[in-house]
Chain A
Amino acid sequence: MKITDACVYPYPAGDSSVSRLALEARAYGYDSIVAIDTPAAEISGVTVLSGIHLANATAKDVQDRARKAGGSGAVISVQVGDNAFNRAVVGTKAICILRGIHEADRYAFDHVTAKIAADNMTAIDLDLSVLIAGRGRLRQKAIHRFRDLVVLQHRFEFPFTISSSARSVLGLRTVREVAGLCSVIGLDVSDTAQALTGIDRIMRPENAAVKVIP
């Protein structure tokens, strides 16, 4: 299982080139990274997965764009919305990740959405940038949301992913630092290890209906 940072923003969105991010990610213990708006590649022994982030779109737009990008092998993530939007999104086949839960209101992600996410193997992203750079009420709200998600995840077992949302190499955190930060939100070491391999599990599901054997 590959340990993956589920979202980084290379140059020009950030200040670090994708090759530098890959180089640093390898040193920090990652096997792969999801780079937004960047073609897939293998750099310095690190698998760079192409990422597509959909934000400020209606459920219909998301479904249309997901259908178009479905066969590309890209990791498609969608910014969280209200409850109805989230239920529609996590039920869409090609959508891999629902991001930004900490920004949503408390009813945006409930037990029904959690069940749909578990059934469709849609991951919920834990964005650590808000724990790292956030202060005061913003971080308190994020910790509360993440703790609530952990409770739902233990009950419904939908996949988690962990992202640094790094726009710079300074925003990346080592796997050990990630484990420390995740302990703040109630994830133990084994849960964190499972969340770090979340991308690998959703991109290559173990119980797929058809398995290609080379």
Chain B
Amino acid sequence: MSTRPPTLREKRRYILARVEPAGLPVDTKDLYYALYEAVTSLWGDVVTAAMRPAVISAENGFVILRCRRGTEREFAIALSTVTTCHDCPIAIRVYAISGTIESLRERIKTLEVPALSGPSTPGRELFFNEKAVEIASGNGQKVDVIEKGFKNAHRLFLTREDLEEP
């Protein structure tokens, strides 16, 4: 089968988004199911078929998504209704929409935050509200911690000022 000439090809738009919480490993297949469910439940089968949502790549907390040109607004609204991915609470924040993947990859380089050190070092033990917590990830003032304890992997979203030294 020969490929179609450019004028007959379907026009697409690519969306750069960030998956929160930071540091959460994202499987593209699980993410595809999550956003497909969100799009279908909000807009229905007809719009989803016209939109043709897809996950292109997921790396360093950023994901590149694809949809047909002209449906990016509806797709972005549906992305704001994604709340879980494989039973993990997540949020998807749209950063940019472009006609090429390359320009979004360039954009990722400008958005990437350098790894932190000091009080926000992952794995470090601190206290919050008299409970021992371990830092899961940190970015500037923002610190995500996990309460220490048997069977407790609940993530808390704090700032550096909220934490106390042991």
Q: Which residues of A are at the interface with B, using a C-beta cutoff of 8 A?
A: 11-12, 15-17, 19-20, 23-24, 44, 131-133, 135-136, 139, 168-174, 176-177, 180-181, 183-184
What separation, in Å, do the CA atoms of A139 and B91 have in the docked complex? 19
Q: Does B142 contact A (CB under 8 A)?
A: yes
Q: How far apart are the CA atoms of A131 and B81 in the complex, in Å?
A: 7
Question: Nearest CB to that of B163 among chain A residues?
Answer: A17
Query: In the bound complex, what is the Cα–Cα distance between A131 and B42 (angstroms)?
Result: 9
In the docked arrangement, what's the CA distance between A136 and B81, Å?
13
Q: Chain B's nearest CB lies how many Å from the CB of A115?
A: 32
Closest chain A residue to B161, Cβ basis: A19
Chain A residue numbers with a CB within 8 Å of B69 are: none
Chain B residues with CB under 8 A of A131: 81
B80 x A16 contact (CB < 8 A): no
7 A–B contacts, CB within 8 A, in A order = A11-B156, A19-B158, A20-B157, A133-B81, A170-B21, A177-B80, A180-B73
Point out the residues of chain B lying under 8 angstroms from A16, CB to CB. 156-158
Which residues on B sit within 8 Å (CB–CB) of A168?
Answer: 89, 157
CB <8 Å contact, A170 and B162: no
* Closest partner residue, chain A, to B147 (CB atom): A15
Q: Which residues of A contact B73 (CB under 8 A)?
A: 180
**Tally of contacts, chain A with chain B, CB under 8 A:** 73
Chain A facing B: main interface SS: helix
Which residues of B are found within 8 Å of A11, using beta-carbon distances? Answer: 129, 156
A23, A24, A44, A132: the one within 8 Å of B80 (CB): A132
Q: Is the Cβ of B159 less than 8 Å from the Cβ of A19?
A: yes
Identify whether the interface residues of B are mostly helix, strand, loop, or mixed: mixed
Q: How far is the CA of A19 from the CA of B131 in the complex (A)?
A: 18
Contacting pair B154 A184 (CB below 8 A): no
Interface residues on B, range: 20 to 34
Question: Scoring B residues 49 to 92 as 1 if CB is less than 8 Å from chain A, else 0, what string do you get?
Answer: 00000000000000000000000010011001101000001110
Nearest CB of chain B from residue A183's CB, rounded to whole Å: 7
Q: Tell me if B77 and A133 are in contact (CB < 8 A).
A: no
* Interface check B100, CB cutoff 8 A: no
CB distance from B161 to the nearest CB of A (A): 6
Q: Is the beta-carbon distance between B162 and A184 smaller than 8 angstroms? A: no
Chain B residue nearest to A184 in the complex (CB): B77
* Contact status B83-A133, CB under 8 Å: yes
Kindly provide the distance from the CB of A48 to the nearest chain B CB, expressed in whole angstroms.
13
Chain A residues whose C-beta falls within 8 Å of the C-beta of B159 in the assembled complex: 17, 19-20, 23
Which B residues lie within 8 Å of A20 (CB)?
142, 157-159, 162
